[in-house]
Amino acid sequence: MGDNRQNSIGYSLPPVWTKLKQHAVFPHFTHDERARYNFLSNLNRYLSTVVAPGVQVAYERRVEPAFKAEHDRTFENRHELREAISRDAYYQLWAALRRCTMEMRQQNGRAAVLRQAEELAQRVQETLKGHEDILRLKPGFKVPAYLRHVDNHLMPGSYHTEYFEGDVANAANYDSGLFVTSGGMLGSLTDGGGRAIAKWVRENYPNFKPKRILDIGCGLGHNTLPIAESFPDAEVWAIDAGAPMLRYGAARAIALGITNVRFVQMDAEDMSEFPDGYFDWVQTTMFLHETGGKAIHKIFREIGRVLAPGGLTLHIEQPQYTPEMSYFEQFMRDWDAYYNAEPYWGHMHDLQPEDLIEEAGIPRANFLQVGVRAVNDLDKPNGTQVREDYGRSPIWNVFGGWKPK
Amino acid sequence: MKLNDIVMASDKSKGARPYFFDDPMAERVMNIAMAVATEVAVIRERIDTIERLLEAKGILTQEEIEDFVPTDEQAEERQLWHARYTARILRIVKQELDAVANPEDNKPMHQIADEINEM
């Protein structure tokens, strides 16, 4: 029971939470805490497959017609549309429920993790014994302003808050709950993004043998490890601003038997400790939309600097908003930016990826862009895919390019 | 360091919380109701676990549960429980009814205070 497969009644069930692989530094969840997450997974699935499609119906049948009747024209941008739809009772119900599940997910995860925070910190420390060289934190490190300014996806304290010396609570909370918000669609280690990009690179560039790989904004390394696993001879550097994430990520990597990744605390706007041309591959995965409007340009200039001639840079993100994308779809994709506390998401998706890649010193002729789908080990061979849910389905836009030799 | 997990679990994230309903009070009630709905699911899952473990140990079967009919005495105990449960849940409705039915016992507290002051 409980895989991503339609059952006899034609309703797709999310996997039960116990399908999430419990590694050696994973927090302990009681029976009731697991049940709470199971409820939330199912609530999310119901919202995304049954309730959310109704928002489009309400939009088409009454929000847009009412606006047209009043203004004698349709919407001219997604912001105008937001104003109008915000007064629609059905939209309000969906939005309130969606916000509610996000908050409950955080509350439930924190309740489970905070009560064992000390023990988790200890376990991480013990796991890292003899592997101290793979983790480097910097006393007095200054967390970038864009991270301190908001708690991304409503996670109180975000990636960087430490409740005590050696704390990993927020990382453990993140690790436990991503499976719930993604409905298990990222696989048993919630690493479907990393697996997808590793597979795509291997298949498309079989002769590409990177010696050094950099993953920027690695978080706890969910998507770094599949890359490290696929390129076992490469030296992989995973950088992030959040100490709890790095600490937990390093221990998690060891617990999962992956030893070619080092986790370093670093601000991606200033990677001056890496020499020019140090990396053959620079990767980001769902990171750029959590940066800032000025930072993103500095980051791309730094990427261009640390990338070796002939090297590859790739960035997994949600699709950019294009003139062909309806305002309704833009608005729905924008929803998380406003209401799931990922405020840069909306602005970032107005940028042109070609321009960003050019800022990294890669000419437009070398620009590449593809769509990839998560590689999910929980998918059954005869599985059916759950419908697209405005940026929450495991289908992403990958853009990047090869730096000229 | 021991963290106050009971309080900290419900910390608010940065940024003003959006309220989608016209009346924020309705949204507040809905959020509490959804949390209670979660706990009902948690209890249901725990009972399911117990039933399955009891079945695996040969102590009872799902059929026995489905086919269970209480004796008259058991039935009365159950119905009594349901009646009290319903009364607890609908306490506020009953109290609003009392207010309508007995206006003499429903004066504002400041008025009662003033009256007591004269007693």
pLDDT, chain A, mean: 92
Tell me the C-alpha distance between A228 and A360, whole Å: 24
Q: Round to whole Å and give the CA distance between A215 and A282.
A: 6
Give the pair of three-digit tokens for residue A13. 């069930």
Best of B22, B30, B34 to disrupt the A interface (most A CBs within 10 Å) is B34
- Nearest of A316, A314, A315, A307 to residue A211 by alpha carbon: A307
Per-residue pLDDT band at B34 (split at 50, 70, 90): very high
A91 → chain B, closest CA residue: B20
Mean pLDDT over A261-286 rounds to 98
Reported as a single tens digit per residue, the pLDDT across A238-258 is 999 999 999 999 999 999 999
Q: For the segment B52-61, what is each residue's pLDDT rounded down to a tens digit?
A: 999 999 999 9
Domain A1-405 has CATH 3.40.50.150: yes
What strands, in cross-sheet order, belong to the sheet with A395-402?
A: A135-136, A261-265, A235-240, A212-216, A279-285, A307-317, A395-402, A367-373
Q: Which of residues 7-66 of A touch B (CB under 8 A)?
A: 31-32, 35-36, 38-40, 43
> What is the number of other CB atoms lying within 10 angstroms of the CB of residue B97?
11
Average of per-residue pLDDT across A221-225: 98
Q: Is residue A8 predicted with pLDDT exceeding 80? A: no
Rounded Cα distance, B28 and B26, in Å: 5
| Residue in B closest to A338 by C-alpha | B18
How far is the C-alpha of A197 from the C-alpha of A199, rounded, in Å? 5
Q: Is B16 near chain A, with CB under 8 Å?
A: no
- Out of A106, A107, A163, name the one closest to residue B3 (CB): A163
Name the amino acid, one letter, at A253: A
Q: Which of B5, B19, B42 sits opposite A36 (nearest CB)?
A: B42
pLDDT, tens digit (0-9, with 9 covering 90-100), for A25-44: 999 999 999 999 999 999 99
Least CB-CB distance to A111: which of B9, B15, B42?
B9
Complex ipTM: 0.81
A288-315 mean pLDDT: 97
Using pLDDT thresholds of 50, 70 and 90, give the confidence band for residue B93: confident
* B68 interfacial to chain A (CB closer than 8 Å): no
Nearest 5°: the CA angle B42, B44, B74 is 135
> Torsion angle of alpha carbons A393, A343, A335, A246, nearest 10°?
30
Model confidence band, residue B2 (pLDDT cutoffs 50, 70, 90): confident
Round to whole Å and give the CA distance between A267 and A287: 13
- Residues of chain B positioned with their CB less than 8 A from the CB of A114: 3, 5, 8-9
User: In this complex, do B45 and A31 lie within 8 Å of one another by their Cβ atoms?
Assistant: yes
- Provide mean pLDDT across the span A114-122: 97
CA of A115 to nearest chain B CA: how many angstroms apart? Answer: 5
pLDDT at A382 over 60: no
SS3 A120: helix
- Residue A321 vs residue A58, higher pLDDT: A58
The type of residue at A162 is: E
